[in-house]
């Protein structure tokens, strides 16, 4: 009986936990962090960073000596010289040889040093590119997040508008029965309620689509119950509009990742020129090799007077390997004289790419300046538009209240009253649009000023 009494409790607890899990609402900070951790483009860029690390290991390896070993075993079958008689005859002989060689670059026109410097710069550029990707994802998530909030509030406005018109429909039915308003006005109100229903459905669909878009941006596999918090504030928390466009631009030049990427690519292009020029200089390499040989054929035998008396078995393997070893070492100097203009063309090509990188830096600075001034102007305009929309909404609300009073006493027809309602609904929608447009533009301006979308 105790087990039976406890079982319903467990079912209720699990159901409660399930409901809590389904009703979890994501904050903007949670959305951005989740997207950064799971976005596919970011993961691909992280792999580019690993590739840059591997390239650096290869550049370091150029300074290390190369070591190679070799071994072979051969059979000579057929017509060979007999070492006892000096005559040619058919026989089979076997030989084993082994060796090792070491080579190292002593001087290579500073190409190895410049290659390592370029690899270090490539790692920096890859990290900047990863940061840029994270910033872009954060902005896209913030925009999608605000779009969901806009659609949520727009749905509430449409639902409230429908609820008010349904109440007005009931009131109109009473007025028609009392003879205060004509029956045609009642039909107009019914048509308005039906249109409100269509707008509610459209708002619900827009909200669902925006939620799906945000969930897909986060790479969520299960997004059926996905929802976000409704907490928003329309204010310049960091007082960014108190700054001047010049101050924002100067700050952006120090912090913006795209400009850092362009400058790093310029440094990489300079190293490429230095590497290409290194091909004109002589190279000096050191080498060392050791080898030995073992034969399995019989060897000539001599008496004490040095006369050939026949053959005998070869010496043991290790004895031959030790006695037959030889060494070779030295340095090799290579001086480029003519190589079909290959080195010269590589230098010229690298110089062209260097000029392109310089132009890219200048272009990035101009683009950044234009974007900053545009963002500042948009933020100012967004604030003015939002304040104007609030003033217009206040006036439309008063006009609607006045029209509602007149309609209630039969001093206004349904067409004019519906027009007043429509204007009020449009004003409410305009407030929502300008509100979230202003919030996003403030985020963009803060972004250029170095204020992150979310604070760590």
Rounded average pLDDT per 10-residue block, the chain, 456 residues: 44 41 75 90 91 94 93 83 62 85 91 94 95 92 90 88 81 71 73 87 93 89 81 74 91 92 96 94 93 79 71 78 89 89 92 96 95 93 94 93 82 79 87 90 90 70
Name 322's Cβ contacts closer than 8 Å, sequence gap at least 6. 292
Question: In this predicted structure, what is the pLDDT of residue 128?
Answer: 95
Question: In this predicted structure, what is the pLDDT of residue 15?
Answer: 41
| Burial classification of residue 215, based on how many CB atoms lie within 10 Å of its CB (0-12 exposed, 13-18 middle, 19 or more buried) | buried
Question: In this predicted structure, what is the pLDDT of residue 233?
Answer: 67
Question: In this predicted structure, what is the pLDDT of residue 60?
Answer: 94
pTM score, whole prediction: 0.78
Hey, is 14 helix, strand or coil? helix
Question: In this predicted structure, what is the pLDDT of residue 393?
Answer: 93
DSSP collapsed to 3 states, 130-145: HHHHHHHHHHHHHHHH
Tokens (6 digits) for 173: 């039915």
User: What gap in Å lies between CA 344 and CA 317, rounded to an integer?
Assistant: 54
């Amino acid at each position: 009986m105790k087990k039976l009494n406890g079982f319903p409790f467990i079912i209720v607890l699990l159901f409660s936990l399930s409901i809590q899990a389904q009703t979890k609402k994501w904050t903007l900070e949670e959305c951005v962090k989740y997207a950064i951790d799971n976005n596919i483009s970011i993961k691909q860029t992280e792999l580019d960073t690993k590739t840059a690390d591997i390239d650096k290991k290869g550049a370091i390896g150029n300074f290390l000596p190369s070591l190679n070993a070799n071994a072979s075993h051969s059979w000579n079958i057929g017509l060979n010289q007999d070492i006892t008689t000096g005559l040619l005859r058919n026989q089979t002989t076997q030989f084993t040889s082994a060796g090792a060689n070491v080579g190292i670059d002593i001087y290579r026109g500073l190409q190895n040093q410049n290659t390592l410097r370029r690899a270090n710069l490539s790692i920096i550029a890859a990290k900047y590119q990863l940061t840029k990707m994270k910033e872009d994802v954060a902005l896209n998530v913030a925009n999608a997040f605000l779009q969901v909030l806009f659609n949520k509030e727009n749905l509430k406005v449409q639902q409230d508008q429908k609820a008010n018109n349904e109440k007005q429909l009931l009131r109109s039915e009473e007025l028609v029965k009392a003879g205060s308003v004509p029956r045609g006005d009642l039909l107009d109100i019914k048509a308005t309620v039906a249109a409100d229903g269509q707008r509610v459905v459209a708002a619900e669909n827009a909200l669902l689509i925006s939620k799906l878009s945000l969930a897909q941006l986060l790479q969520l596999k299960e997004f059926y119950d996905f929802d976000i918090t409704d907490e928003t504030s329309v204010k310049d928390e960091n007082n960014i509009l108190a700054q001047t466009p010049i101050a924002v631009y100067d700050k952006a030049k120090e912090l913006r990742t795209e400009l850092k990427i362009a400058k790093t690519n310029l440094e990489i292009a300079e190293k490429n020129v230095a590497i290409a020029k290194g091909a004109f200089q002589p190279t000096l390499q050191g080498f060392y090799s050791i080898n030995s040989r073992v034969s399995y054929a019989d060897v000539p035998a001599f008496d004490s007077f040095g006369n050939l008396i026949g053959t005998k078995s070869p010496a043991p393997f290790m004895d031959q390997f030790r006695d037959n070893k030889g060494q070779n070492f030295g340095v090799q100097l290579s001086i480029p004289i003519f190589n079909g203009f290959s080195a010269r063309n590589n230098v010229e090509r690298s110089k062209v790419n260097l000029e392109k990188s310089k132009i890219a830096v200048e272009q990035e600075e101009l683009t950044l300046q234009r974007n900053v001034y545009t963002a500042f102007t948009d933020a100012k305009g967004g604030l003015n538009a939002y304040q104007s929309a609030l003033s217009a909404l206040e006036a439309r609300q008063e006009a609607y209240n006045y029209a509602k009073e007149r309609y209630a006493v039969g001093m206004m027809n349904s067409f004019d009253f519906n027009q007043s309602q429509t204007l009020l609904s449009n004003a409410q929608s305009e407030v929502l649009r300008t509100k979230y447009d202003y919030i996003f533009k403030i985020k963009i301006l803060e972004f250029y000023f170095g204020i992150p979308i979310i604070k760590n």
